[in-house]
Chains A and B, each alone.
Chain A
Amino acid sequence: MKPHSGRLWVNYLALGLATACALFGLGLLFLILYDIVSHGLTSLSISLLTQDPAGPLGRGGLKGAFLGQGLLTLMAALVGVPLGVLGGTYLAEYGRDKKFSKVIISLCDLAMSLPSIVIGIFVYSILVKPLGGFNGWAGSAALAVIMVPLVMRTTESMLSMVPWTLREAALALGSPYYQVIIKIVYRQAASGILTGILLAIARVAGETAPLMFTSFNNNYFELNLNRPMPSVTVSIYQYAGSPFDAWIGQAWAAALMVTVVVLFLNILGRLLVKVKKA
């Protein structure tokens, strides 16, 4: 029994350390959440969503910024999701044994760990400077560039998890390959792909840096993508750094909203996977 008890101790030690680290991380997370919720709730009011910005003393809101962020994210998703899904389909299906695909997958992984400010500067140099000013298109493009590798990679891995025998069975019936993909493989992987899309949207919905270099900000209600676009995250950045209590309060409230939306998208994504497994 002696040698056993030694290993047992090492086991307890490792378990204890791991648990402590996990608790520390969780604790920090809850501290941040607590901070956002407690500060955010005190300043949260419906006028945040319904009113245009006012001076530092008035009771304004960030209506334009919320709409602008929504529009930027929507435009980004309209481009990023199809590109990502189709790209992922190429990687997992048509190009699965090709060297080219392995290179693309590595590049995707690299792009995913790139600081988003780098993407902001890149888009600035091709869509802001040449066009003569900040604009909504550039903001959407920056978000789309962040989304594509995320969606592509999750799509690729979800499709790769669909067993080959399923494709073979469909092909053996005389089905053309594209139909096998659309009608069977996509269906089998649907919840996983959807989760990937939601997580990618959640990821870009909270981005600030790439927007500061592209769509910048705008104090007015704006739906024209040719002009600078207001966004919640950049507004938070600007308001939080201001000396005015009313603006700082609005920044907290807006931060709470962004957190809730991102959290909601994440939870929705996880639930989808659960539903699928059940």
Chain B
Amino acid sequence: MSHEPAEAELKDLITIEELCFFFGDNQVLKNINMPIRDKSITSLIGPSGCGKTTLLRCFNRMHDLYPNNHYEGRIRMENRNILDKGQDLIWLRSRLGMVFQKPTPFPMSIYDNIAYGLKLKKITNRSIVRDLVEKALRQANLWTEVKDRLKESALGLSGGQQQRLSIARSLAVNPLVLLFDEATSALDPISSAKIEEMMVELKKDVTMVVVTHNMQQAARISDYTALMYLGSLVEYGETNDIFTRPKMKMTEQYVAGHFG
């Protein structure tokens, strides 16, 4: 039995340095500095509109889809700056998967949903694809529910199953990081618990950043927690410290549910 790595052993996979982000003239992120530790779960919490989604979408440069946005500062990963103008976005996005609040099944079979990303990586050998599809579905705790209906349309799955399918689809391309934006907020408690269980299981392979409004969830699953307010980082630390002995008064009030 291996032990959970002690804090000192977790290296920084990503470092956010002096990050600012603007929608047009509207500055939404203000000088954010924090690490994302390797093989861990980091929660982003904070009141609605504080910039959690905006920060999450900086990691995979989703903002580039829309005009008039710009980034300042750096997000370092593997000796590169994610925010570099010349950054290969295809490569970047295959390294950082994203799961959205609403499930996003593609209009095709369950199997093809998962195989989609593999085709992008030019993995076409049928038996390898089949194995990888099964592996991804197992990782997302979905395999036993769908193994007899892989050829059926993904649109026929329940909301919770669709969400796990979206996760499996991201996992299939073997990402370094998975970004979750309130991925369980639209689900019933059982589906949501299944996904939490899966996330904890996944920690040995993948680093996760999780935006959530659910304080219990943040406390249960994450190793590190960051509280944001009005575009700034209020406090970052080990989840245990944030919830039991925060440094800032605001953090104490927020996790206790006294404002927001």
- Chain A positions near chain B (C-beta within 8 angstroms): 97, 165-176, 179, 183-184, 187-188
Contact = CB atoms under 8 A, between A and B. Distances in A.
Contact of B117 (A165, A166, A174): A174
Interface in B65-115: 65-67, 90-95, 97-98, 100, 102, 104, 106-108
Interface of B: 60, 62, 65-67, 90-95, 97-98, 100, 102, 104, 106-108, 116-117, 120-121, 166, 169-170, 173
A179 B92 CA distance: 17
A19 to B, nearest CB: 38
Contact of A168 (B62, B67, B90, B91): B62
Nearest to B106: A184
A125 B94 CA distance: 54
Contacts of A168: 62, 65, 98, 100, 104
A187 B105 CA distance: 12
Nearest to A177: B65
A258 to B, nearest CB: 36
Contact of A173 (B62, B67, B102, B169): B169
A183 B91 contact: no
Contact of A166 (B93, B95, B106, B169): B106
A165 B107 contact: no
Contact of A184 (B100, B107, B166, B170): B107
A174 B173 contact: yes
B116 A172 contact: no
10 contacts: A165-B100, A167-B65, A168-B62, A168-B100, A169-B98, A169-B166, A171-B62, A172-B170, A173-B117, A174-B120
A172 B107 contact: no
Given A172-B62, A173-B169, A173-B173, A165 B102 contact: yes
A165 B62 CA distance: 11
Given A179-B120, A187-B108, A174 B100 contact: no
B107 A169 contact: no
A172 B65 contact: no
Nearest to A186: B107
For the complex of A and B, list the 3 residue pairs with the smallest distance between their C-beta atoms, beginning with the closest: A174-B94, A169-B104, A172-B98
Contact of A183 (B100, B102, B116): B116
Contacts of A183: 106, 116
Contacts of B107: 184, 187-188
A183 B120 CA distance: 11
A168 B60 CA distance: 11
Contact of B170 (A165, A166, A167, A173): A173
B65 to A, nearest CB: 7
A82 B121 CA distance: 29
Identify the interface centre among B91, B92, B102: most chain A CB within 10 Å of its CB.
Answer: B102
Contacts of B95: 174
Contacts of A170: 106, 116
A175 B62 contact: no
Contact of A174 (B62, B90, B106): B90
Given A168-B104, A173-B169, 10 more contacts: A172-B98, A173-B170, A174-B95, A174-B117, A174-B121, A174-B173, A175-B117, A176-B90, A179-B120, A187-B106
Given A173-B170, A174-B94, A166 B120 contact: no
B70 to A, nearest CB: 16
A173 B94 contact: yes
A165 B104 contact: yes
Nearest to A189: B107
Nearest to A164: B65
A171 B93 contact: yes
B174 to A, nearest CB: 11
